[in-house]
Structure 1
Amino acid sequence: MKSFKTLLLSATLTTAATAGLLFVGQSKASAATTYTVATGDTLSTIAQKFTGNTDLVNQIATTNNIQDINMIFVGEQLTIDTDQTATPVQTTTPVVVAQPAAVQTPAPVVQAQPTVQAAPVQQPAAVAPTASSAKEWIAQKESGGSYSARNGQMIGRYQLTASYLNGDYSAANQDRVADQYVTSRYGSWDAAKSFWLSNGWY
Protein backbone atom coordinates (compact mmCIF):
# COMPACT_ATOMS: atom_id res chain seq x y z
CA MET A 1 0.00 0.00 0.00
CA LYS A 2 1.40 3.42 -1.06
CA SER A 3 2.07 5.96 1.61
CA PHE A 4 0.32 9.33 1.79
CA LYS A 5 3.56 11.13 0.83
CA THR A 6 3.89 9.00 -2.26
CA LEU A 7 0.32 9.78 -3.36
CA LEU A 8 0.85 13.50 -2.69
CA LEU A 9 4.07 13.55 -4.69
CA SER A 10 2.40 11.75 -7.57
CA ALA A 11 -0.50 14.22 -7.62
CA THR A 12 1.93 17.14 -7.57
CA LEU A 13 3.90 15.78 -10.52
CA THR A 14 0.69 15.11 -12.44
CA THR A 15 -0.51 18.68 -11.84
CA ALA A 16 2.86 20.13 -12.89
CA ALA A 17 2.91 18.02 -16.03
CA THR A 18 -0.59 19.16 -16.91
CA ALA A 19 0.37 22.80 -16.36
CA GLY A 20 3.49 22.27 -18.47
CA LEU A 21 1.39 20.90 -21.31
CA LEU A 22 -0.95 23.86 -21.07
CA PHE A 23 2.03 26.22 -21.14
CA VAL A 24 3.41 24.47 -24.26
CA GLY A 25 0.01 24.73 -25.91
CA GLN A 26 -0.12 28.44 -25.16
CA SER A 27 3.35 29.04 -26.60
CA LYS A 28 2.29 27.38 -29.84
CA ALA A 29 -0.73 29.69 -30.09
CA SER A 30 1.52 32.76 -30.16
CA ALA A 31 3.23 31.79 -33.43
CA ALA A 32 4.90 34.56 -35.44
CA THR A 33 3.24 35.78 -38.64
CA THR A 34 5.11 36.91 -41.75
CA TYR A 35 3.66 40.00 -43.43
CA THR A 36 4.75 41.53 -46.76
CA VAL A 37 4.76 45.32 -46.79
CA ALA A 38 2.31 46.77 -49.33
CA THR A 39 2.01 50.23 -50.88
CA GLY A 40 0.87 52.80 -48.32
CA ASP A 41 1.83 50.68 -45.31
CA THR A 42 3.52 52.10 -42.20
CA LEU A 43 4.50 50.29 -39.02
CA SER A 44 1.58 52.04 -37.37
CA THR A 45 -0.97 50.78 -39.93
CA ILE A 46 0.50 47.28 -39.81
CA ALA A 47 0.23 47.23 -36.04
CA GLN A 48 -3.36 48.43 -36.36
CA LYS A 49 -4.14 45.55 -38.75
CA PHE A 50 -2.82 42.89 -36.40
CA THR A 51 -3.75 44.21 -32.93
CA GLY A 52 -6.32 46.95 -33.41
CA ASN A 53 -3.93 49.58 -31.94
CA THR A 54 -0.51 51.05 -32.61
CA ASP A 55 1.23 49.77 -29.43
CA LEU A 56 3.01 47.06 -31.45
CA VAL A 57 5.14 49.50 -33.53
CA ASN A 58 8.30 49.31 -31.40
CA GLN A 59 7.98 45.55 -31.00
CA ILE A 60 7.77 45.08 -34.81
CA ALA A 61 10.77 47.37 -35.30
CA THR A 62 12.84 45.49 -32.70
CA THR A 63 11.89 42.03 -34.03
CA ASN A 64 12.83 42.99 -37.60
CA ASN A 65 15.94 45.09 -36.81
CA ILE A 66 14.36 48.28 -38.22
CA GLN A 67 16.49 51.28 -37.23
CA ASP A 68 14.04 53.96 -38.36
CA ILE A 69 10.38 53.20 -37.59
CA ASN A 70 9.36 55.68 -40.30
CA MET A 71 11.20 53.83 -43.08
CA ILE A 72 9.94 50.49 -44.45
CA PHE A 73 9.90 49.30 -48.05
CA VAL A 74 7.24 47.76 -50.29
CA GLY A 75 7.84 44.02 -50.62
CA GLU A 76 9.81 43.81 -47.38
CA GLN A 77 8.76 40.84 -45.23
CA LEU A 78 8.17 41.52 -41.55
CA THR A 79 7.81 39.06 -38.70
CA ILE A 80 4.84 39.96 -36.48
CA ASP A 81 4.60 38.41 -32.99
CA THR A 82 0.89 38.44 -32.13
CA ASP A 83 -1.86 36.08 -31.06
CA GLN A 84 -4.39 37.81 -33.32
CA THR A 85 -3.41 35.98 -36.46
CA ALA A 86 -6.91 36.17 -37.96
CA THR A 87 -6.75 39.93 -38.64
CA PRO A 88 -4.07 39.79 -41.42
CA VAL A 89 -6.98 39.04 -43.78
CA GLN A 90 -7.11 42.85 -44.03
CA THR A 91 -3.98 42.75 -46.21
CA THR A 92 -6.37 42.73 -49.17
CA THR A 93 -6.71 46.51 -48.64
CA PRO A 94 -3.82 47.27 -51.10
CA VAL A 95 -6.42 46.53 -53.81
CA VAL A 96 -7.77 49.99 -53.00
CA VAL A 97 -4.41 51.44 -54.09
CA ALA A 98 -4.94 50.02 -57.58
CA GLN A 99 -8.32 51.75 -57.99
CA PRO A 100 -7.00 55.28 -58.72
CA ALA A 101 -5.01 53.86 -61.65
CA ALA A 102 -8.20 52.38 -63.09
CA VAL A 103 -9.95 55.74 -62.74
CA GLN A 104 -7.34 57.29 -65.04
CA THR A 105 -8.09 54.92 -67.93
CA PRO A 106 -11.12 56.90 -69.22
CA ALA A 107 -8.83 59.89 -69.88
CA PRO A 108 -7.32 58.48 -73.12
CA VAL A 109 -10.85 57.86 -74.38
CA VAL A 110 -11.67 61.56 -73.96
CA GLN A 111 -8.44 62.54 -75.72
CA ALA A 112 -9.28 60.31 -78.66
CA GLN A 113 -12.50 62.21 -79.41
CA PRO A 114 -10.86 65.26 -81.04
CA THR A 115 -9.47 63.00 -83.76
CA VAL A 116 -13.05 62.42 -84.92
CA GLN A 117 -13.28 66.16 -85.58
CA ALA A 118 -10.34 65.96 -87.97
CA ALA A 119 -12.50 64.29 -90.63
CA PRO A 120 -14.58 67.40 -91.46
CA VAL A 121 -11.35 69.31 -92.11
CA GLN A 122 -10.72 67.08 -95.12
CA GLN A 123 -14.13 67.82 -96.64
CA PRO A 124 -13.31 71.30 -97.99
CA ALA A 125 -10.42 69.77 -99.94
CA ALA A 126 -12.98 67.75 -101.88
CA VAL A 127 -14.96 70.89 -102.79
CA ALA A 128 -14.30 71.14 -106.50
CA PRO A 129 -17.77 70.88 -107.99
CA THR A 130 -18.25 71.34 -111.73
CA ALA A 131 -21.30 72.78 -113.46
CA SER A 132 -21.37 69.92 -115.89
CA SER A 133 -19.40 66.93 -117.05
CA ALA A 134 -18.30 68.98 -120.08
CA LYS A 135 -16.66 71.58 -117.81
CA GLU A 136 -14.73 68.89 -115.92
CA TRP A 137 -13.76 67.22 -119.19
CA ILE A 138 -12.27 70.46 -120.54
CA ALA A 139 -10.47 71.12 -117.23
CA GLN A 140 -8.86 67.69 -117.41
CA LYS A 141 -7.80 68.22 -121.01
CA GLU A 142 -6.40 71.71 -120.39
CA SER A 143 -4.56 71.27 -117.08
CA GLY A 144 -5.21 67.82 -115.66
CA GLY A 145 -7.64 69.57 -113.31
CA SER A 146 -4.91 71.59 -111.53
CA TYR A 147 -5.61 75.18 -110.45
CA SER A 148 -1.86 75.87 -110.30
CA ALA A 149 -0.99 74.58 -113.79
CA ARG A 150 0.86 76.97 -116.15
CA ASN A 151 1.65 76.75 -119.84
CA GLY A 152 3.35 79.90 -121.06
CA GLN A 153 0.79 82.71 -120.68
CA MET A 154 -1.99 80.26 -119.86
CA ILE A 155 -2.76 79.89 -116.16
CA GLY A 156 -4.75 77.53 -113.96
CA ARG A 157 -7.35 74.82 -114.31
CA TYR A 158 -8.96 76.23 -117.48
CA GLN A 159 -5.75 77.69 -118.98
CA LEU A 160 -6.91 81.30 -119.14
CA THR A 161 -4.61 84.28 -119.65
CA ALA A 162 -3.61 86.62 -116.86
CA SER A 163 -5.69 89.38 -118.44
CA TYR A 164 -8.83 87.28 -118.08
CA LEU A 165 -8.08 86.44 -114.46
CA ASN A 166 -7.13 90.05 -113.68
CA GLY A 167 -4.31 88.94 -111.35
CA ASP A 168 -6.59 86.83 -109.13
CA TYR A 169 -5.51 83.19 -109.53
CA SER A 170 -7.66 81.78 -106.75
CA ALA A 171 -9.71 78.66 -107.50
CA ALA A 172 -12.97 80.55 -106.99
CA ASN A 173 -11.98 83.29 -109.45
CA GLN A 174 -10.74 80.75 -112.01
CA ASP A 175 -14.11 78.97 -111.95
CA ARG A 176 -16.05 82.24 -112.10
CA VAL A 177 -14.03 83.69 -115.02
CA ALA A 178 -14.11 80.36 -116.91
CA ASP A 179 -17.94 80.25 -116.61
CA GLN A 180 -18.18 83.85 -117.90
CA TYR A 181 -15.78 83.14 -120.76
CA VAL A 182 -17.59 80.00 -121.92
CA THR A 183 -21.05 81.59 -121.60
CA SER A 184 -20.07 84.64 -123.62
CA ARG A 185 -18.12 82.70 -126.28
CA TYR A 186 -20.00 79.38 -126.63
CA GLY A 187 -23.20 79.69 -124.65
CA SER A 188 -22.56 76.50 -122.63
CA TRP A 189 -19.85 74.11 -121.56
CA ASP A 190 -21.28 71.41 -123.78
CA ALA A 191 -20.87 73.70 -126.80
CA ALA A 192 -17.33 74.54 -125.67
CA LYS A 193 -16.54 70.81 -125.47
CA SER A 194 -17.82 70.27 -129.01
CA PHE A 195 -15.58 73.10 -130.23
CA TRP A 196 -12.61 71.61 -128.36
CA LEU A 197 -13.19 68.20 -129.95
CA SER A 198 -13.06 69.84 -133.41
CA ASN A 199 -10.14 72.18 -132.79
CA GLY A 200 -8.14 70.87 -129.82
CA TRP A 201 -8.78 74.06 -127.82
CA TYR A 202 -11.69 76.23 -126.76
Structure 2
Amino acid sequence: MKFGSRYQVDENWSNNNFQPGEWECIITKATETLSRTGKAMVEMGFSIAGQGELRYWLVDDQSSQEAWERTNKNITRFFDCFNIPRGNFNVQSWLGAKGRIYIDKSEPNNDGKQFFEVQRLIAEKPQTNGYPQQRQQPQNPQAYQAHQQQGQSAFHAPSQNQQQTQGAQRNNGNANKWQPQPQQNQYNDFDDNLPF
Protein backbone atom coordinates (compact mmCIF):
# COMPACT_ATOMS: atom_id res chain seq x y z
CA MET A 1 0.00 0.00 0.00
CA LYS A 2 1.27 3.45 -0.90
CA PHE A 3 1.54 6.22 1.71
CA GLY A 4 -1.62 8.36 1.77
CA SER A 5 -3.68 6.08 -0.48
CA ARG A 6 -6.51 5.85 2.11
CA TYR A 7 -6.26 9.46 3.35
CA GLN A 8 -9.50 11.27 4.26
CA VAL A 9 -9.77 14.83 5.54
CA ASP A 10 -10.42 14.93 9.31
CA GLU A 11 -11.65 18.37 10.35
CA ASN A 12 -11.48 17.24 13.99
CA TRP A 13 -7.69 16.81 13.93
CA SER A 14 -7.25 19.09 16.95
CA ASN A 15 -9.74 17.08 19.03
CA ASN A 16 -12.25 19.89 19.12
CA ASN A 17 -15.49 20.37 17.32
CA PHE A 18 -16.80 23.61 18.82
CA GLN A 19 -20.18 25.02 17.96
CA PRO A 20 -21.25 28.55 18.99
CA GLY A 21 -23.86 28.85 21.73
CA GLU A 22 -24.52 28.03 25.37
CA TRP A 23 -22.92 24.86 26.67
CA GLU A 24 -22.44 23.08 29.96
CA CYS A 25 -18.79 22.66 30.80
CA ILE A 26 -16.58 21.19 33.52
CA ILE A 27 -13.47 22.79 34.98
CA THR A 28 -10.66 20.35 34.17
CA LYS A 29 -7.66 22.55 34.94
CA ALA A 30 -7.04 25.44 37.36
CA THR A 31 -3.54 26.82 37.82
CA GLU A 32 -2.51 30.01 39.63
CA THR A 33 -0.02 32.00 37.59
CA LEU A 34 0.82 35.56 36.52
CA SER A 35 -0.46 37.42 33.47
CA ARG A 36 1.94 38.94 30.94
CA THR A 37 1.62 42.23 32.84
CA GLY A 38 2.39 40.60 36.20
CA LYS A 39 -1.15 40.40 37.60
CA ALA A 40 -2.24 37.37 39.62
CA MET A 41 -4.56 35.11 37.64
CA VAL A 42 -5.96 31.60 37.37
CA GLU A 43 -5.66 29.80 34.03
CA MET A 44 -8.41 27.23 33.58
CA GLY A 45 -9.52 24.59 31.14
CA PHE A 46 -13.26 24.28 30.46
CA SER A 47 -14.20 20.95 28.87
CA ILE A 48 -17.36 20.75 26.77
CA ALA A 49 -18.54 17.17 26.19
CA GLY A 50 -18.12 16.10 22.57
CA GLN A 51 -16.48 19.39 21.59
CA GLY A 52 -13.14 19.86 23.33
CA GLU A 53 -11.49 22.09 25.90
CA LEU A 54 -11.24 25.87 25.93
CA ARG A 55 -8.87 27.92 28.03
CA TYR A 56 -10.16 30.70 30.28
CA TRP A 57 -8.29 33.25 32.38
CA LEU A 58 -9.59 34.91 35.54
CA VAL A 59 -7.33 37.92 36.24
CA ASP A 60 -7.13 39.79 39.57
CA ASP A 61 -6.54 43.35 38.32
CA GLN A 62 -6.20 45.90 41.12
CA SER A 63 -4.48 48.60 39.09
CA SER A 64 -7.34 51.11 39.55
CA GLN A 65 -10.69 51.47 41.29
CA GLU A 66 -12.49 50.63 38.03
CA ALA A 67 -10.31 47.56 37.43
CA TRP A 68 -10.84 46.40 41.02
CA GLU A 69 -14.64 46.72 40.65
CA ARG A 70 -14.56 44.85 37.31
CA THR A 71 -12.41 42.10 38.87
CA ASN A 72 -14.86 41.67 41.75
CA LYS A 73 -17.79 41.40 39.32
CA ASN A 74 -15.96 38.85 37.17
CA ILE A 75 -14.88 36.69 40.12
CA THR A 76 -18.36 36.83 41.69
CA ARG A 77 -19.96 35.84 38.35
CA PHE A 78 -17.44 32.98 38.06
CA PHE A 79 -18.31 31.67 41.56
CA ASP A 80 -22.05 31.91 40.79
CA CYS A 81 -21.69 30.30 37.35
CA PHE A 82 -19.90 27.25 38.71
CA ASN A 83 -21.77 27.10 42.03
CA ILE A 84 -18.53 27.56 43.95
CA PRO A 85 -18.90 29.24 47.35
CA ARG A 86 -18.02 32.91 47.01
CA GLY A 87 -14.55 33.59 48.37
CA ASN A 88 -13.28 30.01 47.90
CA PHE A 89 -9.85 30.65 46.39
CA ASN A 90 -8.61 27.06 46.79
CA VAL A 91 -8.36 26.64 43.02
CA GLN A 92 -7.80 22.87 43.21
CA SER A 93 -11.25 22.53 44.79
CA TRP A 94 -12.73 24.07 41.62
CA LEU A 95 -11.80 21.01 39.54
CA GLY A 96 -14.89 19.12 38.43
CA ALA A 97 -17.26 22.06 39.00
CA LYS A 98 -19.95 22.37 36.32
CA GLY A 99 -21.25 25.59 34.83
CA ARG A 100 -22.76 27.11 31.70
CA ILE A 101 -20.80 29.25 29.27
CA TYR A 102 -21.46 30.97 25.97
CA ILE A 103 -18.80 30.39 23.32
CA ASP A 104 -18.29 31.86 19.88
CA LYS A 105 -15.49 32.77 17.50
CA SER A 106 -13.18 35.61 18.49
CA GLU A 107 -12.57 38.70 16.41
CA PRO A 108 -10.04 37.97 13.64
CA ASN A 109 -6.42 38.41 14.74
CA ASN A 110 -3.72 40.13 12.66
CA ASP A 111 -3.45 37.03 10.46
CA GLY A 112 -7.21 36.95 9.93
CA LYS A 113 -7.61 33.78 12.01
CA GLN A 114 -10.50 33.29 14.40
CA PHE A 115 -10.62 30.97 17.38
CA PHE A 116 -13.41 29.84 19.64
CA GLU A 117 -13.39 31.52 23.03
CA VAL A 118 -15.51 31.77 26.16
CA GLN A 119 -17.42 34.99 25.69
CA ARG A 120 -19.68 34.85 28.73
CA LEU A 121 -20.16 32.94 31.98
CA ILE A 122 -23.83 32.23 32.59
CA ALA A 123 -25.00 32.38 36.19
CA GLU A 124 -28.58 31.17 36.57
CA LYS A 125 -29.14 33.18 39.74
CA PRO A 126 -26.82 34.85 42.22
CA GLN A 127 -25.96 33.14 45.50
CA THR A 128 -27.80 35.59 47.75
CA ASN A 129 -29.08 33.29 50.50
CA GLY A 130 -32.37 35.18 50.28
CA TYR A 131 -30.91 38.65 50.83
CA PRO A 132 -30.00 41.33 48.31
CA GLN A 133 -26.26 41.54 47.80
CA GLN A 134 -24.41 44.64 48.93
CA ARG A 135 -21.27 45.68 47.16
CA GLN A 136 -18.53 46.66 49.57
CA GLN A 137 -15.92 49.06 48.35
CA PRO A 138 -12.97 50.20 50.34
CA GLN A 139 -13.46 53.71 51.65
CA ASN A 140 -9.85 54.40 50.75
CA PRO A 141 -8.79 52.55 47.56
CA GLN A 142 -5.12 53.50 48.08
CA ALA A 143 -5.16 51.89 51.53
CA TYR A 144 -6.76 48.80 49.99
CA GLN A 145 -4.01 48.57 47.39
CA ALA A 146 -1.30 49.08 50.02
CA HIS A 147 -2.97 46.36 52.09
CA GLN A 148 -2.88 44.02 49.07
CA GLN A 149 0.75 44.83 48.31
CA GLN A 150 1.74 43.92 51.87
CA GLY A 151 0.71 40.36 51.11
CA GLN A 152 -2.69 40.38 52.78
CA SER A 153 -5.21 38.22 50.98
CA ALA A 154 -8.43 40.07 51.67
CA PHE A 155 -9.79 43.52 52.37
CA HIS A 156 -11.65 43.71 55.65
CA ALA A 157 -14.39 46.31 55.79
CA PRO A 158 -15.45 47.56 59.24
CA SER A 159 -17.54 45.01 61.11
CA GLN A 160 -21.25 45.55 61.56
CA ASN A 161 -20.67 46.39 65.25
CA GLN A 162 -18.07 49.01 64.31
CA GLN A 163 -20.45 50.53 61.76
CA GLN A 164 -23.30 50.63 64.28
CA THR A 165 -21.04 52.15 66.93
CA GLN A 166 -19.85 54.81 64.51
CA GLY A 167 -23.41 55.65 63.46
CA ALA A 168 -24.95 55.95 66.92
CA GLN A 169 -24.76 58.39 69.77
CA ARG A 170 -25.89 58.38 73.37
CA ASN A 171 -29.41 59.57 74.10
CA ASN A 172 -29.26 62.74 76.21
CA GLY A 173 -31.56 61.50 79.01
CA ASN A 174 -30.54 57.85 79.32
CA ALA A 175 -26.94 56.66 79.29
CA ASN A 176 -27.95 53.00 78.72
CA LYS A 177 -29.83 53.53 75.45
CA TRP A 178 -28.29 54.03 72.06
CA GLN A 179 -30.08 56.09 69.48
CA PRO A 180 -29.02 55.32 65.92
CA GLN A 181 -28.29 58.27 63.69
CA PRO A 182 -29.07 58.13 59.98
CA GLN A 183 -25.94 57.06 58.16
CA GLN A 184 -24.92 58.63 54.92
CA ASN A 185 -24.87 56.14 52.09
CA GLN A 186 -21.13 55.81 51.54
CA TYR A 187 -21.63 53.64 48.44
CA ASN A 188 -24.02 56.04 46.68
CA ASP A 189 -25.47 53.39 44.38
CA PHE A 190 -27.65 51.38 46.74
CA ASP A 191 -31.16 51.91 47.97
CA ASP A 192 -31.12 52.94 51.64
CA ASN A 193 -34.36 51.06 52.29
CA LEU A 194 -32.89 47.58 52.64
CA PRO A 195 -35.09 44.99 54.40
CA PHE A 196 -32.67 44.27 57.24
Structure ID, larger Rg: 1
TM-score interval w.r.t. the shorter chain? under 0.3
Structure ranking higher in strand proportion: 2
Q: How high is the TM-score relative to the length of structure 2?
A: 0.24
Structure ranking higher in helix proportion: 1
Q: How high is the TM-score relative to the length of structure 1?
A: 0.23
| Structure possessing the higher relative contact order (Cα contacts under 8 Å, 6 or more residues apart) | 2
